[in-house]
Structures are given as structure tokens and as C-alpha cells.
Structure 1
Amino acid sequence: MTRTRDFAQVNVFSSAPYLGNPVAVVLDAEGLSDEEMQRIAKWTNLSETTFVFPATDPAADYRLRIFTPGGELPFAGHPTLGSAHAWLENGGTPRDPATVVQECGAGLVGLRRGDGILSFAAPDTMHSGPLDAADVERFATAFGIARD
């Protein structure tokens, strides 16, 4: 991890400095291991740090991995928006000028571009239906609430 990498910190959900939700974006993450990305995410000390890679899906413009200080997420909203913004600001060119397509753990996410604003529809749900009893018990315990 000795080479330098382009990096941005993006203020998401606000045009006023220090009032948005920050995300750290490593713009050229190719070659970083999972352990290195996790270490960088802990170092930035933000809720999420993202890593931009070349797309592996031909329909995507780039691939994104999202890490918290505690682990990787398949998808998260403000990191998706902030990373797309940083990618575009740093020379990223989408196949379709009106839409950026991000590949992530939850699949493909299309982001619309319009009037300087990025927006997206949430990806499909990865899990649906009732939770098993062990998960319900674990969640209730974690939140300190009654199981019912």
C-alpha cells in the first residue's frame, strides 16, 4: 500500500460546508486487499469509506465497495451519491450522460443526473419475508427491547 491514490472527501446532502454527511472516496482502489480497505476505513474514521474499481459488469460505469470501520456493506445511500459525485468530478465519464450506473454488492444502481443533482432508486431487497427466531432474538437483545 505504498503507492499514492486519488482520494476525495465529499459532503453529501448539503451544499453548506460541514453540514452534510461526509464520505471518504478512494478513486483508484485497484490492487487494494480487503484488509487494506478495512484499515483505510478505520483510519478515515467516517461512517463509510468507499473504494472505486473498474466495473466487472459491462452495464456498469464503475464498481464500488463500501466499508464502515467495522466491515463491508453491500449498499448504502449517501456513499453511493458521494462516490458518484467524486467519480464524475475526477473525470469519470458514464456511458449515458444522463445516468451513472454503479455496480456494488447489491447489484447495479442507476443514478440520474439532472440540474447538478444525483438521485437513485434503491436496489432490490436482498432479503424478504419473516426473520427466523434466532435473528429476532439477536436483534431484540442488541437493541435492548422485548422480543415482541
Structure 2
Amino acid sequence: MNTIPAASHIALAITAAKAEMRERRRESIRKATKAHYWRTLQTNPRKAMLQNAQRAARRFGVSINITVDDIVIPARCPAFDIPLERSNGVAAEASPSIVRIEPKLGYVKGNIIVVSAKAARDPLARTLLFKALRGELNAEPQITAAA
């Protein structure tokens, strides 16, 4: 024998319908957000890079005060001297990427540089590039001869 009153069945059905509507709305917003990001990436890559930097700053807990105007995408990667090109989908080796020169300072003016994704992933390339930017690398290595 069913002991749940008819009103409870209706309340459960209403609750389930509302949950389904919320989930459909969330999925719709996710799809719209993703589509908006890809449109932004195609039309204004610097804005998309700023959005990625803002997301990374939140994730790493560092400060950010850069604007779209602070992001300068060079024609060629300063580390590997390859042409920087946008890609559709997953970042390719030649995709432009923002890198922090001093990671602890965060995404602040003067502390970022745009390099290829390949250079951003390569720790040695980043180290040498940052040393060159700081003027810590000698133009020619000093070779000392033992006498």
C-alpha cells in the first residue's frame, strides 16, 4: 500500500522538473561561454590571453593588474625565433603565450612577456630568456685558460 500522499508526489515531480531545468540552463550557459571565448580568441586574441591570465592569477593566487594594451604579441618568439601563429583548438608550439618573468610578482606591468607556447613550456628556454632580459647573460662566454 502506498503511504505517500498525492501532494508529496506532485512536490517531488516539481522538484525534479526544477532540477532538470537548472541543469539545462547550466549546460546552455557553459556552451555559450565556450562559444564566446572562441569568438574572442579569433577576433581579439589579446583579450582572450588576458582572460587566460586572469584565470591563472586566480588559480595561482598571484596579483594581476595588466590590461589588453599591456599584451604585445611580437611577430616572432623571442626565445626560439619562430613566427607566432594562433591555432584553433589546443595551443600549438607556435601559439603566443603570456609568461611571468618573476613568477612571485604575478601578472603585473613590466613582468610579462609573450613567447611561443613551446618556450613557455621549456624551463631552460625561459631561464635563458629571462636572464637575457635582465642583462645577466654575457654576450660572449668568458673562457679562462688554466696556465
TM interval, short-chain normalised:
under 0.3
Q: Taking structure 2 as the reference length, what is the TM-score of the superposition?
A: 0.27
The structure in which a higher percent of residues are helix is 2
Structure showing greater Rg: 2
Q: TM-score, normalised by structure 1?
A: 0.27
- Which structure is higher in strand share? 1
